[in-house]
């Protein structure tokens, strides 16, 4: 059975293992465990109680920032990331606050075709490019594409 729900403290060890499996340059354990808490809306996607994907999203004033999303390599290109982000957008739009979240921002490596395709397919727009923003595995640098999605009711 597939579910999407809040990623909570008890999930972090399992989710961090997925982080390490999914990214060429994964976050450190300290970074992963500290991007949690009151200012975050983090979701997990499970299949038969196993975490297959997660997203990490920070809320600041009327903006949300998608810091991380990952889907297990064996479950990719089945629409799961799109499902997870659609759920995140739905949750952001239904947050009960006197200052609604107006936009969802993210940055992505210029070479990450899968992620860029995912974000375009959801309706994110490219805002700008940050030159040489990311380190690469071979010790060089890579541009970041900054994208945003407008949350409308």
Ligand X SMILES: CC(C)(COP(=O)(O)OP(=O)(O)OC[C@H]1O[C@@H](n2cnc3c(N)ncnc32)[C@H](O)[C@@H]1OP(=O)(O)O)[C@@H](O)C(=O)NCCC(=O)NCCS
Sign of the Cα pseudo-torsion (99, 10, 47, 54, in order)? positive
135 contacts ligand X (rule: CB under 6 A) = no
Q: Return the range that interacts with ligand X (CB under 6 A); candidates 1-9, 36-44, 86-94, 111-119.
A: 111-119
Q: Return the range that interacts with ligand X (CB under 6 A); candidates 33-41, 57-65, 67-75, 143-151.
A: 67-75
Q: Catalytic: 134?
A: no
Distance of CA 41 to the CA centre of its chain: 10
What 8-state DSSP symbol labels residue 1?
-
CA 55/CA 6 separation, integer angstroms: 10
For ligand X, the closer CB: 42 or 68: 68
For ligand X, the closer CB: 33 or 134: 134
CA 153/CA 147 separation, integer angstroms: 20
The nearest distance, CB 131 to ligand X, in angstroms, is 18
- Which of 59, 65, 61, 56 minimizes the C-alpha distance to 148? 65
What 8-state DSSP symbol labels residue 88?
H
Strands 63-71 and 103-109: parallel
88 contacts ligand X (rule: CB under 6 A) = no
Question: Of the residues 63, 90, 107, 142, which is catalytic?
Answer: 107
CA 47/CA 97 separation, integer angstroms: 31
81 contacts ligand X (rule: CB under 6 A) = yes
Q: Return the range that interacts with ligand X (CB under 6 A); candidates 29-37, 94-102, 116-124, 129-137.
A: 116-124
User: Using CB under 6 A as the criterion, which residues of the chain lie in contact with ligand X when the complex forms?
Assistant: 22-23, 68-71, 76-82, 108, 112-115, 117-118, 121
């Amino acid at each position: 059975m597939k579910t999407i729900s809040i990623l909570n403290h008890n999930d972090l060890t399992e989710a961090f293992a997925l982080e390490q499996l999914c990214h060429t340059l994964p976050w450190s354990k300290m970074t992963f465990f500290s991007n949690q808490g009151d200012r975050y809306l983090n979701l997990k996607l499970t299949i038969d109680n196993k975490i297959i994907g997660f997203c990490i999203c920070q809320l600041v004033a009327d903006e949300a920032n998608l810091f991380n999303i990952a889907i297990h390599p064996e479950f990719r290109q089945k629409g799961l990331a799109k499902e997870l982000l659609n759920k995140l957008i739905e949750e952001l739009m239904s947050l009960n606050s006197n200052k609604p979240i107006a936009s969802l921002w993210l940055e992505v490596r210029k070479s990450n075709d899968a992620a860029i395709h995912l974000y375009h397919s959801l309706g994110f727009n490219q805002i700008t490019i940050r030159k040489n923003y990311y380190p690469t595995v071979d010790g060089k640098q890579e541009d970041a594409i900054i994208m945003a999605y407008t949350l409308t009711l």
